[in-house]
């Protein structure tokens, strides 16, 4: 992956009901790596679980309770057979089959994605375009079966979830790669912040790595770069073992934790990996932070990593800047301040290094 040198981008969710307004902000603040906005205030279908359930066997969305489930109370045999036939058709004849339609993100589930393409069509080719997909672990642990249990614990459904998300990632990359030199696809895994806790007894590390690896490999097979976002603390060797190109995390609250994984980071950087530092807070802390305070905070976090034997300049070249999480449920003014500070911080850091956009 080319050295991003503090390129700024966002996570995905935004607190607006107007896709055009959201995209104006995206292109204003993230002109080198824009992304399509997820707009949960438009309804449950824009939530990170429901949005990716389209085409999944047995998927039901309860709009009143704002929940997505897999209806295992009925026989899903025929739906599963049809799903795997479409999957095999896509894998066998990826550029020819109409089976790709199952893995699309339609306008009923994303008002931002069509608007994003319209906006890109009128612009020169960009360095990066960023898309996003809910991670397989977060989806499988958040979506329940008819008995109220996470579908993660049903191996056959866990496989369906993973394959669906892998191909939804590839569908997005195919749609947008004409507009940029490189496409980045973030796999959003907030549930991994609870990995190893009593909340997820029975969630095995090897299964998590394998699920992530399948999605990451699918992204990379389309010639794109795979990132993993987790807005918390987790075992950072997991995404590295899964082969991600970009690690993205809440560096504002947990920035020091990444330095604990020196050996894994060595593997990550040796294969050209990037760390996307989510140093701009998505809490009310945004009201008191400045570019200078955030730059100082980031300097301290990166210095901890450098002490593990990494070249500081190399760390800077292999760094991106993001908010710590999505801003979908923030106050609109606070969300706009998050974007403004993220963009301004990127410019400040580049100027300090003598790099130009």
pLDDT digits (tens, 9 = 90+) for 36-59: 999 999 999 999 999 999 999 999
Percent of the chain's residues with pLDDT above 70:
98
- Residue 282 inside a domain? The answer is no
Residue 97 has pLDDT above 80, yes or no: no
- How high is the pLDDT of residue 159? 98
Q: Is residue 2 part of a domain?
A: no
Is the predicted pLDDT of residue 175 greater than 70, yes or no?
yes
* Sequence-ordered alpha helix ranges (H) in the chain: 19-29, 77-92, 111-121, 136-142, 155-176, 205-221, 237-241, 251-254, 262-270, 291-306, 312-317, 332-353
Tell me whether residue 252 is in a domain.
yes
Q: How many domains does the chain have?
A: 1
Structural domain that includes position 196: 9-273
The pTM is what? Answer: 0.95
Structural domain contains residue 109: yes
CATH of the domain at 91: 3.20.20
280, 339 Cβ separation under 8 angstroms: no
pLDDT digits (tens, 9 = 90+) for 142-163: 999 999 999 999 999 999 999 9
Whether residue 256 is contained in a domain is answered as yes
Asked whether residue 194 is domain-assigned, the answer is yes
* pLDDT band, residue 194 (cuts 50/70/90): confident
- In angstroms, the CA 354 to CA 289 distance is 24
Q: Strand, helix or coil at 33?
A: coil
Q: What is the mean pLDDT of the chain?
A: 95
pLDDT of the residue at 232: 84
Residue 334 lies in a domain: no
**Nearest C-alpha neighbor of 211 from the set 195, 233, 224, 223:** 195
Q: For residues 2 and 12, what is the distance between their CA atoms, to the nearest angstrom?
A: 22
Identify whether 23 is part of a domain. yes
Summarised one tens digit per residue, pLDDT across range 13-38 is 999 999 999 999 999 999 999 999 99
Flag whether pLDDT at 117 surpasses 90.
Answer: yes
Which of 130-134, 254-258, 274-278 shows the lowest mean pLDDT across its residues? 254-258
- pLDDT over threshold 90, residue 347: yes
Q: Which residues pair with 343 in a beta bridge?
A: none
């Amino acid at each position: 992956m080319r050295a991003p040198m503090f390129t700024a981008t966002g996570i995905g969710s935004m607190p607006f009901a107007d896709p055009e307004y959201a995209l104006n902000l995206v292109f204003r603040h993230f002109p080198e790596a824009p992304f399509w906005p997820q707009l949960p205030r438009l309804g449950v279908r824009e939530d990170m679980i429901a949005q990716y359930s389209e085409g999944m066997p047995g998927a039901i969305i309860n709009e009143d309770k704002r929940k997505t489930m897999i209806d295992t109370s009925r026989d899903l045999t025929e739906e599963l057979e049809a799903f795997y036939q479409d999957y095999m058709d896509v894998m066998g004849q990826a550029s020819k089959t109409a089976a790709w339609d199952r893995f699309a993100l339609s306008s009923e589930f994303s008002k931002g994605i069509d608007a994003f393409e319209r906006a890109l069509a009128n612009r020169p080719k960009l360095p990066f375009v960023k898309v996003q997909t809910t991670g397989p672990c977060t989806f499988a642990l958040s979506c329940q079966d008819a008995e109220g249990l996470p579908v993660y614990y049903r191996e056959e459904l866990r496989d369906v979830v993973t394959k669906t998300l892998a191909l939804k990632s590839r569908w997005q990359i195919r749609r947008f790669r004409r507009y940029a030199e490189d496409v980045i696809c973030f796999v959003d895994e907030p549930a991994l912040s609870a990995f190893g806790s009593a909340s997820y007894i029975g969630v095995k590390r090897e299964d998590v790595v394998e699920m992530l690896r399948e999605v990451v490999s699918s992204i990379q097979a389309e010639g794109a770069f795979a990132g993993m976002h987790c807005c918390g603390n987790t075992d950072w060797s997991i995404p590295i073992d899964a082969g991600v190109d970009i690690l993205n995390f809440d560096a504002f609250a947990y920035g020091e934790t990444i330095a604990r994984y020196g050996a894994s980071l060595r593997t990550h950087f040796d294969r050209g990996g990037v760390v996307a530092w989510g140093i701009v807070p998505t809490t009310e802390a945004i009201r008191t932070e400045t570019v200078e305070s955030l730059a100082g905070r980031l300097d301290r976090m990166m210095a901890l990593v450098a002490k593990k034997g990494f070249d500081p300049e190399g760390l800077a070249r292999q760094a991106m800047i993001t908010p710590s999480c999505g801003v979908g449920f923030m106050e609109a003014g606070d969300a706009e301040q998050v974007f403004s500070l993220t963009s301004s911080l990127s410019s400040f850091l580049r100027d300090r290094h003598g790099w130009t956009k």
